Amino acid sequence: MFQKEIMIGGIRLRSNVLMAPLAGYTCFPFRLMVERLGAGSAYTEMVSADALKYNDRATSKLLFTDEREKLKCVQLLGSNPAFFERAVKSEALEKFDIIDINMGCPVPNVVKAGEGCALMDDIPRASRIIEACARSGKTVSVKCRIGMNRHKIVIEEFARMCEASGAAMITVHGRTRDMMYDGEPLYEYIRLAKKSVRIPVFANGGIDSKEKAAETMKKTGADGIMLARYGFENPLIFAELTNTECNETKYSLITEQLDIAQECFTELDALTYIKKLASYFLKKLPGTKQYKPGLYKCGNIPELRALLTDIFGGAC
Q: Mind telling me the catalytic residues?
A: 105
Between the alpha carbon of residue 115 and those of residues 18, 26, 103, 147, the distances in Å are 23, 20, 7, 14
DSSP code at position 92: G
Answer yes or no: are the C-beta atoms of 14 and 5 closer than 8 Å.
Answer: yes
Answer yes or no: are the C-beta atoms of 207 and 230 closer than 8 Å.
Answer: yes
Q: What one-letter code names the amino acid at 135? A: R
Rg (CA), the chain: 19
Between the alpha carbon of residue 255 and those of residues 121, 228, 229, 260, 282, the distances in Å are 44, 22, 20, 9, 14
State CA 136 to chain mean position distance.
Answer: 22
Contacts 24+ apart (CB under 8 A), 309-315: 309/251, 311/278, 311/282, 312/249, 312/250, 312/251, 312/254, 312/281, 313/251, 314/249, 314/251, 314/252, 315/249, 315/251
Cross-strand pairs, 227: 19
Q: How many helices (H) and strands (E) does the chain have?
A: 14, 12
Query: Could you give the CA distance from residue 306 to residue 167 in angstroms, rounded to a whole number?
Result: 47
Please tell me the chain's helix, strand, coil percentages from 3-state DSSP, rounded to the nearest 5.
45, 15, 35
